[in-house]
Structure 1
Amino acid sequence: MSGTVRVTVPASTANLGSGFDALGLALGLYDVVEVAVTDEGVTGTVTGEGAGLRVDENHLVVRALLATAKELGLDLPGVELTCVNAIPHARGLGSSAAAVVAGIAAGYALAERELDSAALRLAAGFEGHADNVAASLRGGLALAWTESTPNETGHTYHAVRFEPHPSLRPVVLIPAEHSATSLTRGLLPASVPHVDAAFAAGRCALAVHALTTWPELLLTATEDRLHQDYRARAWPNTMRLVRAMRENAVAATVSGAGPTVFAATLDGRLPAGVDTSGFLVRELAVDRDGVRTERVGTNSR
Structure 2
Amino acid sequence: MSDGEMLIIKVPGSSANLGPGFDSIGLALDVYLTLEVEMAKEWEVVPLSEELNVFPKDETNYILQIAKETAEKYNRRLPACRMKVKSDIPLARGLGSSAAAIVAGIELANSLCKLHLTKQEKLEWASKIEGHPDNVGASLLGGLVVGCQLEDEVSVESFHHLEMDIVAVIPREELLTKNSRGVLPKTFSYENAVQAGAIGNVMIAALLNGHYMQVGKMMKQDRYHHPYRKKIVPHLQVIEELASDFGAFGVALSGAGPTVVCLTEKGAGIDLAKSLADRFPEMECRSLNIEQAGSSVYFTRQICKNI
* TM-score past 0.5 threshold: yes
Match of residue 201 from structure 1: 197
Which residue in 1 is equivalent to 2:153?
156
Contact 1:241-1:276 at 8 Å conserved across structures: no
1:141 matched to 2:137 = no
Q: Offset of 1:254 from its aligned partner?
A: 0.2
SS in structure 1 at match of 2:228: coil
Q: 1:101 to 1:189 in 2, by over 3 A?
A: same
Q: Which residue of 1 aligns with 2:44?
A: 43
2:50 & 2:256 partners in 1: Cα distance?
A: 18
Residue of structure 1 equivalent to 2:18: 16
The number of aligned residues is: 290
Please list, as runs of the form range in 1=range in 2, the aligned pairs for 1:35-74 lying within 5 A after superposition.
35-40=37-42, 42-48=43-49, 50-52=51-53, 53-74=55-76
The change in CA–CA distance for 1:194 and 1:275 in structure 2 (over 3 A counts) is farther
Distance change in 2, residues 1:108/1:221 (3 Å): same
Distance 2:178 2:136 in 1: 17
Query: Displacement, 1:16?
Result: 0.4
Give, in angstroms, the shift of residue 159 of structure 1.
1.7
Pair 1:124–1:165, CA change in 2 (3 A): same
TM-fit CA distance, 1:246: 5.2
* Equivalent in the alignment of 1:256: 255
* Rounded Cα–Cα distance in structure 2 between residues aligned with 1:207 and 1:297: 46
- 1:233 equivalent in alignment to 2:236: no
Take 2:217 and 2:257, find their aligned partners in 1: how far apart are those partners? 21
Check conservation: 1:6, 1:106, Cα contact below 8 A. no
**Residue type at the aligned position of 2:120:** S
Indicate conservation of the 8 Å contact 2:79/2:112, yes or no.
Answer: no
Q: CA contact under 8 A between 1:49 and 1:89: conserved in structure 2?
A: no
Q: Hey, what's the Cα distance between the residues in 2 that align with 1:175 and 1:294?
A: 34
Q: Which runs of 5+ in 2 are unaligned?
A: 303-307
Of 132, 136, 140, the residue aligned with 2:135 is: 132
SS of the residue aligned with 2:224? coil
Tell me what 2:297 maps to: 293
Confirm or deny: 8 A CA contact 1:196 1:226 kept in the other structure: no
Going from structure 1 to structure 2, the CA distance change for 1:252 and 1:49 (only over 3 Å counts) comes to farther
Residue aligning to 2:36: 34
Whole-angstrom CA distance in 2 between matches of 1:132 and 1:111: 25
Q: SS of the residue aligned with 2:298?
A: strand
Write the distance in 1 (CA, Å) between the matches of 2:62 and 2:193: 34
CA drift at 1:26: 0.2
230-239 vs 91-100, which moves further? 230-239
Structure 1 CA distance for aligned equivalents of residues 251 and 295 of structure 2: 26
Deviation at 1:164, TM superposition (A): 4.0
Whether 1:170 aligns to 2:155 is no
- Choose the corresponding residue for 2:120, options 117, 123, 136: 117
CA contact (8 A) 2:165 2:288 kept: yes
Q: 1:230 to 1:49 in 2, by over 3 A?
A: farther
Q: For 1:291 and 1:191, how far apart are their aligned partners in 2?
A: 35
Q: Secondary structure, in 3 states, of the residue corresponding to 1:258?
A: coil
Q: Offset at 1:261?
A: 0.6
**Contact 2:67–2:105 (8 Å) recurs in 1:** yes
Percent of paired sites with the same residue: 32
With normalisation by structure 2, the TM-score equals 0.87
Residue ranges of structure 1 left out of the alignment (5+ in a row):
149-154
Q: Tell me what 1:151 maps to.
A: none
SS of 2:301's equivalent in the other structure is coil
More helix by share: 2
Task: Name the SS for the 2:139 alignment partner.
Answer: helix
Contact (CA 8 Å) 2:67, 2:78: kept in 1 or not? Answer: no
SS of 1:259's partner is: coil
